[in-house]
Amino acid sequence: MKTTVRVIAGAAQHIEGVPPHSVDLVVTSPPYPMIEMWDGVFGEQDSRILERLAAGRGLEAFEIMHSLLDSVWRECDRVLKPGGMICINIGDATRTVDSNFQLYSNHSQVLRTFFRHGYTALPDILWRKQTNAPNKFLGSGMLPVGAYVTYEHEYILILRKGPRRRFTDSQEKALRRRSAFFWEERNVWFSDIWHDIKGTRQALVDSVTRRRSAAFPLEIAYRLISMFSIQGDVILDPFVGTGTTLRAALACGRSAIGVDIDPSLTPVAMETLISMRRSANTYSRDRLSRHIEFAKRRAVDSGPMKYCNVNYGFPVMTRQETDILLPDVISIARSNAEVVSVEYADSPQLDFDSASMHEMPAYRGSIQTMGQRSELSSSGTGTDSQDDLQLYRS
């Protein structure tokens, strides 16, 4: 499999080079209106914003900032395929303007825009990020009624363009099965509150750049891409910053396009992409190792699982997981100043630590060797049974 990752320096309102209906999934985090660190970026795009803020007219500034974001959402709508999804990480803002402290509800403005475009909103995720900031408790201290609730979450909005995507040809169906996630991952990823993702620790990007760009954690983009696209799909991030979404797309075996108005960030994104082969492959291997640990615990607690993955030979909970094949990057090469080409192996990672599976008493002797895996494929694939769905609900 081959993919490409492209980084464009410029305003996401104008990505005419990206053809209509060419993107399968948008994953992004815009600058948050009314969060002070983004006043300058918004102000440079529309001078009325700084004037309104200076005049203490917070709600007017808020509306103009959202009209700038709206013009990017319009462009996302143009390039997104029917049935494609949009995942937007956005936080609401609390701010005092003209001595009045109030909430500026960014997520509801964004939802309103997408409703106008006819999108279907799906259940969102609350990303719970605890803060230890000294000014965490605001307002009148222990005295009613003027103390304020501490804001420690952000939204991940999930929207769909038109009816559900259909997978019709056999190649797409096979890629979808290969892109499935593990049962135990599903139980965490599709929960409505993510409280297991902390901070923005990313070895690939230095801390100054990360702070300046307000990068989100790689795991957020990685999960969303795995949840709402298949291998070989095209992912767009119109506010790509340091390129977190692009790195996650590369690790997930997807093509990607990232756009950022700050020209100093695009070289950062390109450099980290070029050098991430080892870290991308470690991410996949860690998933495999976590699955093996899960399978071992499950064997001890509840006995053997019913199905076996045809590529790795380890046990899985459901028939839908039998074809999972995590991407393994062979090479990343720069094609030109803004594009990297990526090549992946078509076979499973054989060097990950599968030996530990054999220590499982419940599976000793029952783990399949590579030679035996072809037999499994006939029993392990097929349509999804009621049985599998039952497992999902339990």
Ligand X SMILES: C[S@@+](CC[C@H](N)C(=O)[O-])C[C@H]1O[C@@H](n2cnc3c(N)ncnc32)[C@H](O)[C@@H]1O
Please tell me the number of Cα atoms within 13 Å of 9 on its side-chain side: 11
Query: What's the rounded Cα separation, in Å, for the pair 204 and 277?
Result: 11
Report if residue 109 touches ligand X, rule: CB under 6 A: no
Residue nearest ligand X, Cβ-based: 241
Stretch in the footprint of ligand X (CB under 6 A) among 239-247, 282-290, 355-363, 373-381: 239-247
Query: What's the rounded Cα separation, in Å, for the pair 159 and 123?
Result: 9
Shortest Å, Cβ 340 to ligand X: 17
Report if residue 213 touches ligand X, rule: CB under 6 A: yes
Report if residue 111 touches ligand X, rule: CB under 6 A: no
Report if residue 197 touches ligand X, rule: CB under 6 A: no
Report if residue 288 touches ligand X, rule: CB under 6 A: no
Considering only residues 226, 242, 309, 320, which one is a binding residue for ligand X as defined by CB under 6 A?
Answer: 242
**379 Cβ contact list (under 8 Å, min separation 6):** none
Stretch in the footprint of ligand X (CB under 6 A) among 7-15, 50-58, 349-357, 371-379: 7-15
Report if residue 106 touches ligand X, rule: CB under 6 A: no
Q: H or E element: which one contains 224? A: helix 218-228
Stretch in the footprint of ligand X (CB under 6 A) among 10-18, 108-116, 134-142, 174-182: 10-18
Shortest Å, Cβ 246 to ligand X: 9
Per-residue tokens: 108: 């509801």
Shortest Å, Cβ 263 to ligand X: 9
Angle of helix 218-228 versus helix 244-252 axis, rounded to 10: 50
Report if residue 29 touches ligand X, rule: CB under 6 A: yes
Shortest Å, Cβ 98 to ligand X: 26
**10 Cβ contact list (under 8 Å, min separation 6):** 259, 261
Report if residue 216 touches ligand X, rule: CB under 6 A: yes
**Nearest residue to 158 via CA among 237, 239, 77, 87:** 87
**What's 100's DSSP letter?**
E
Report if residue 224 touches ligand X, rule: CB under 6 A: no
Query: What's the rounded Cα separation, in Å, for the pair 56 and 169?
Result: 57
Considering only residues 1, 39, 41, 388, which one is a binding residue for ligand X as defined by CB under 6 A?
Answer: 41
**Nearest residue to 242 via CA among 276, 277, 206:** 206
**Nearest residue to 376 via CA among 295, 317, 322:** 322
Question: Cα separations (Å) of 288 from 182, 190, 311, 326, 328?
Answer: 9, 19, 12, 8, 12
Binding map of ligand X across residues 58-87, x = CB under 6 A, - = no contact: --------------x---------------
Considering only residues 106, 113, 244, 368, which one is a binding residue for ligand X as defined by CB under 6 A?
Answer: 244
Please, which residue, 265 or 329, has the CB nearer to ligand X? 265
Return the number of other C-beta atoms located less than 10 Å from residue 235's C-beta: 29
Considering only residues 3, 5, 7, 12, which one is a binding residue for ligand X as defined by CB under 6 A?
Answer: 12
Query: What's the rounded Cα separation, in Å, for the pair 303 and 62?
Result: 56
Shortest Å, Cβ 322 to ligand X: 34
- Alpha-carbon torsion, ordered 360, 366, 369, 370, to 10 deg: -100
**Nearest residue to 27 via CA among 85, 107, 104:** 85
Stretch in the footprint of ligand X (CB under 6 A) among 52-60, 92-100, 255-263, 331-339: 255-263
Site size for ligand X, by CB under 6 A?
A: 22
Report if residue 265 touches ligand X, rule: CB under 6 A: yes
On whether the CB atoms of residues 342 and 250 are closer than 8 A, the answer is yes
Stretch in the footprint of ligand X (CB under 6 A) among 212-220, 305-313, 319-327, 354-362: 212-220
Report if residue 241 touches ligand X, rule: CB under 6 A: yes
Give the interface with ligand X as residue ranges (CB under 6 A): 11-13, 29-31, 41, 72, 213-216, 238-239, 241-242, 244, 259-262, 265
